[in-house]
A and B are shown apart, each in its own frame.
Chain A
Amino acid sequence: MWTWFYRLASPPSVYALSGRLAPWLLAAAACLIAFGLVDGLAFAPPDYQQGDAFRIVYVHAPSAWLSTFAYMLMAVAGAIALIWRIKIGHAVAAAAAPIGASFTLCTLLSGSLWGKPMWGTFWAWDPRLTSELILLFLYFGVMSLRQAFEDPARGDRAAALLAIVGVVNIPIIKFSVTWWNSLHQGATVARFGKPTMVASMLVPLLVMFAGFMLFFVGVLCVRLRAEVLNRERLATWVREAVAT
């Protein structure tokens, strides 16, 4: 049974599979996101407290979720590569990192845009935004560490270990930031009021979640192909694949 897995995880088959999946995933993602955006921006009712400003949640919430999901995926892929020495894991981790970091950035920017109409400032040390910022630092650390090694194999392994350490820390960081924020309930602290959602608000949100997820996997496939090609550039199958 494991031989089936090892064969599936081999670079040429991953290259071929991700090439076939990517266009479908991205097309489906485009449809879902388009539907979600139109429904969320135009058709969902405005929130009675926040008015139309809450609509940024349709981008903010999925981004936030995916930023954490991508980090966990990166850590798991790295762990698989470290423990069972399945090299494709390193390729997946390396491909996922910049995408996850971009989602984190997107979360921070959308959060900032939400903040302006809500609190009048572009930035506030809200627990969610603060933990996303720390997550961005964690991403930066993993990506920098991978690049810092001359031997890419060592860089992969070091980055994988750091990602695992980071993943253990993420719940701790989130807890501590929430705890910290709850201590200082002064007037200057703002919170993202979670609008109570009715079905007509929830449906576009769920659609956006699904769309973002498909987008993530689709882009991951595209980046993974490039990573695999680069890592295996000396292998004969690469020469053949590139020639066609």
Chain B
Amino acid sequence: MTIGLSQALGLVLRRELLLSLRRPDQLLQPLVFFLIVTTLFPLSLSPELSLLRDMAPGVLWVAALLAALLSLDGLFKADADDGTLEQLVLSGIPLGLIVMAKTLAHWLLSGAALVVISPLVGMALGIPVSAFGTMMLSLALGTLTLSWLGAIGAALTVGLKRGSMLLSLIVLPLAMPLLIFGASATDRAMGGESPAGALYLLGALCVLTTTLAPLAAGAALRITLE
């Protein structure tokens, strides 16, 4: 390959960000979904903040998980549909690197965005401000891990009819550990205890997926592109 690895990463990352920013309506969708799902819980349970507070970490995390998951479907789909995915694969850039760039761009615009508006949701569910730091850190790590897992799922299901349902079925069981650790971290922070244990575990998951997921997703792309 005649261009360097870091240049290739930068190029694909720029391409992804440029494409997403030219479709601003799609940028807002995961955020709005996050807010809508959060709203479902008080409506179906109770408007009492004291009650909601107890369930808040779980509600917040489930809503964030579903919002991030729904937008993962499009990670490779658009490129697969118009033939540009093949061109990417044939450019000589290692598949793992392509996956990394696409996933990072996706996370920056969905997962990170969720983290930014999470204080709003936290307030709506009665989470004390003192827990916001832990909440946002855990969400950042968790949504990044989910993006990596989702990349594997998206690569496996690209091109399948009704692939998005199958994507969720594949990714959600794999995402259960991060849900456990993330919600627990927020919960402990709310209770005034140290969330360190849960955060470390979440961080470990994040590092593990960051290293292994690009390889797996690259292999998956090779399989589905045949």
Interface residues, chain A, CB within 8 Å of chain B? 134, 137-138, 140-141, 144-145, 148-149, 154, 157-158, 161-162, 164-166, 168-169, 172-173, 175-177, 179-180, 183
Contact = CB atoms under 8 A, between A and B. Distances in A.
B123 interface: no
A95 to B, nearest CB: 21
Contacts of B68: none
B220 A161 contact: yes
A169 B220 CA distance: 17
B105 interface: no
Contacts of B192: none
Is the contact region of chain A dominated by helix, strand, or loop, or is it mixed? Answer: helix
A134 B156 CA distance: 20
B176 A176 contact: yes
A179 B226 CA distance: 41
Nearest to B212: A168
Contacts of A177: 176-177, 180
B160 A148 contact: yes
B166 interface: yes
Which of B157, B163, B170: most chain A CB closer than 10 A? Answer: B170
Interface in B210-226: 212, 216, 219-220, 223-224, 226
A176 B96 CA distance: 28
Contact of A165 (B157, B174, B226): B174
Interface string B33-69: 0000000000000000000000000000000000000
Contacts of A148: 157, 160-161, 163, 166
Contact of A158 (B156, B181, B212): B156
B75 to A, nearest CB: 16
Contacts of A145: 156-157, 166, 170
Contacts of B220: 158, 161
Is the contact region of chain B dominated by helix, strand, or loop, or is it mixed? Answer: helix
Nearest to A151: B226
Interface residues of B, number: 26
Nearest to B183: A180
B17 interface: no
Contact of A176 (B152, B161, B166, B177): B177
The 3 closest A-B pairs by CB, nearest first: A176-B177, A137-B173, A141-B170
A138 B180 contact: no
20 contacts: A138-B174, A145-B157, A145-B166, A148-B166, A154-B224, A158-B156, A158-B220, A158-B224, A161-B156, A161-B219, A161-B223, A164-B216, A165-B174, A172-B205, A173-B176, A173-B177, A176-B176, A176-B180, A176-B181, A180-B180
Contacts of A166: 174
Interface in B136-186: 152, 156-157, 160-161, 163, 166, 169-170, 172-174, 176-177, 180-181, 184
A169 B174 contact: yes
Which of B156, B205, B220: most chain A CB closer than 10 A? Answer: B156
